[in-house]
């Protein structure tokens, strides 16, 4: 395989990559770099975790550093559009350590946070803007940013932007960039609304595809657990109480919130990521999950794309998703960069037909097992001693603000658990972790949750340890498996 130097990356950029532990290109990078560095329009398609982010970040940085123009106030030189805040922030985190040695400045633009700091950074001048379409369009209308100096435009996860209904805004933004500029489009799939963007904005693009649109990762095991509705919560508690990080997906925001509270009440340190909470809470919860302060993240499909956290051992579809693409993207949060991982789908009698169709369309042949709480397979899917932390009684009295400014009952006065400890980035990092670092925020919509406070794990299997893990919220949980298990079918309404 060619090295980065042999592919044409400048020496300072190769050196900056080496300091991040990245020394060899992934296939999608090796395939596209000769064309992107030459200024060609490129369509790059690769499975999640395949290294697409560096596929467009590296040529963008190399070409900007070599170009004769310099940044101007309110007129960035490169634009990267992403569908969610989490993905936008993650892309910026990949760019920052590489851009600094080259003297390039970058910023993120998305909703859910104050616009004033963004306006200030734009006014000061940046080379690269990583943005979600909605807030960027607002800044364009108010005159705080102009795109007439854009040399390179990147659309990341364009198919997801189409799914979210962003295409009209994306077209207006693209129309404001010079037609002579380079355009790159990287996505897990190239279909539906993406074709409209390709035909309208790209000139003789070269397409590179490094795997099948449906090819499952060979190091990923898929299991379907056929169970009774009342057994859903006990099985989830068993699986999430095992060592390691677990990502649990639900189909609605309310179910994510309810399940998180029940897991915490059962002694499992868990945090939420969904569409009903603000940006600070989203960032705090994702950092808690990344650092290990909370070992379980309960999320809607907001976390199915672009989010990378090291060493996610298990992905659980507590609610089967609506479509097969969502199943593949959700599942892709584990088994990244050649690592192994396990994907578990919980299925009731009412969901058998939907799950069968879902896995068939996804090209997956899962192992299906009918079981209940205590089944030996649960220990095989999530090996290790189960540990639980005792949740305190619910306290509805007003909370005093701590020295850090976080309300113990709800993170800066919001309802929910106390703010999680700051991310110490303690996990081991793989090659893709160096290339696609998790950084915390990104979507047009406001998504997030109050973090639970990262209780310590101790004690013996099945017994609370009395370590005082905080409950997930100030209000009393409605309790019981039935409160979480509402019998949602796999083919119901898709969450936003």
Domain boundaries, the chain: 4-209, 220-484
Structure confidence at residue 340 (pLDDT): 61
Three-class DSSP category at 441: coil
Q: In this model, does residue 184 exceed pLDDT 50?
A: yes
Which strand (E) or helix (H) includes residue 345?
A: strand 341-347
Same fold, 4-209 and 220-484: yes
- pLDDT band for position 68 (50/70/90)? confident
What are the tens digits of pLDDT across the range 105-144?
Answer: 999 999 988 999 999 999 999 999 999 999 999 999 999 9
The more confidently predicted of residues 157 and 346 is 346
CB 50 within 8 A of CB 27: yes
Task: Find the mean pLDDT for residues 73-84.
Answer: 95
State how beta strands 270-273 and 152-156 pair: unpaired
Q: What is the pLDDT of residue 469?
A: 38
The Cα angle at residue 288 between residues 109 and 496, in degrees rounded to 5? 50
Burial of 11 (0-12, 13-18, 19+ CB in 10 A): exposed
Q: What does the pLDDT read at residue 282?
A: 84
* 3-state SS, residue 187: strand
**Helix H segments across 105-210?**
116-124, 133-141, 158-163, 167-175, 194-201
| Tokens matching residue 52 | 């697409």
Which one-letter DSSP state was computed for residue 115? S
Q: What percent of the chain has pLDDT over 90?
A: 47
User: Considering the domain 4-209, what is its CATH architecture?
Assistant: 3-Layer(aba) Sandwich (3.40)
310 or 197, higher pLDDT = 197
CATH class of 220-484: alpha beta
């Amino acid at each position: 395989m060619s090295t980065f130097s042999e592919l044409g990356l400048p020496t300072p950029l190769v050196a900056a990559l080496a300091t991040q532990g990245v020394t060899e290109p992934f296939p999608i990078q090796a395939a596209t770099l000769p064309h992107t560095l030459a200024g060609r329009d490129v369509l790059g398609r690769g499975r999640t975790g395949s290294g697409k982010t560096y596929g467009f970040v590296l040529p963008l940085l190399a070409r900007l550093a070599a170009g004769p123009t310099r940044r101007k106030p309110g007129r960035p030189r490169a634009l990267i559009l992403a569908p969610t805040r989490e993905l936008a922030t993650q892309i910026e985190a990949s760019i920052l350590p590489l851009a600094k040695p080259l003297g390039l400045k970058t910023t993120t633009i998305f909703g859910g946070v104050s616009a004033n700091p963004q306006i200030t950074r734009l006014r000061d001048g940046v080379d690269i803007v990583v943005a979600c379409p909605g807030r960027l369009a607002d800044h364009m209308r108010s005159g705080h940013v102009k795109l007439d100096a854009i040399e390179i435009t990147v659309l990341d996860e364009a198919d997801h932007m189409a799914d979210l209904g962003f295409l009209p805004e994306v077209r207006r933004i693209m129309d404001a960039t010079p037609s002579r500029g380079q355009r790159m489009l990287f996505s897990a799939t190239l279909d539906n609304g993406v074709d409209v963007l390709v035909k309208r904005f790209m000139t003789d693009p070269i397409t590179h595809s490094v795997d099948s649109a449906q090819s499952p990762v060979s190091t990923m095991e898929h299991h379907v657990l056929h169970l009774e509705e009342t057994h859903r919560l006990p099985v989830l508690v068993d699986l999430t109480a095992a060592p390691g990080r677990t990502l649990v997906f639900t189909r609605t925001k309310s179910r994510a919130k309810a399940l998180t509270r029940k897991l915490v009440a059962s002694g499992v340190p868990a945090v939420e990521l969904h569409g009903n909470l603000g940006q600070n809470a989203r960032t705090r919860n994702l950092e808690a999950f990344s650092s290990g302060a909370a070992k379980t993240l309960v999320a809607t499909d907001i976390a199915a794309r672009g989010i990378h956290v090291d060493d996610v051992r298990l992905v659980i579809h507590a609610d089967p998703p609506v479509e097969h693409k969502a199943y593949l993207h959700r599942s892709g949060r584990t088994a990244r960069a050649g690592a192994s991982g396990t994907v578990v789908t919980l299925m009731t009698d009412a969901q058998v037909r939907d799950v069968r169709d879902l896995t068939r369309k996804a090209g997956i042949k899962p192992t299906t097992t009918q079981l209940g709480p205590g089944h030996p397979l649960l220990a095989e899917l999530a090996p290790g001693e189960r540990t639980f932390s005792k949740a305190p009684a619910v306290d509805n009295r007003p909370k005093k603000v701590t020295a850090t400014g976080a309300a113990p009952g709800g993170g800066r006065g919001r309802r929910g658990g106390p703010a999680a400890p700051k991310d110490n980035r303690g996990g081991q990092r793989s090659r893709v972790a160096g290339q696609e670092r998790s950084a915390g925020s990104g979507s047009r919509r406001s998504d997030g949750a109050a973090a639970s406070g990262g209780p310590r794990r101790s004690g013996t299997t099945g017994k609370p340890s009395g370590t005082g893990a905080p409950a997930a919220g100030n209000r009393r949980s409605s309790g019981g498996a039935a409160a979480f298990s509402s019998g949602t079918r796999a083919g119901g309404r898709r969450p936003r």
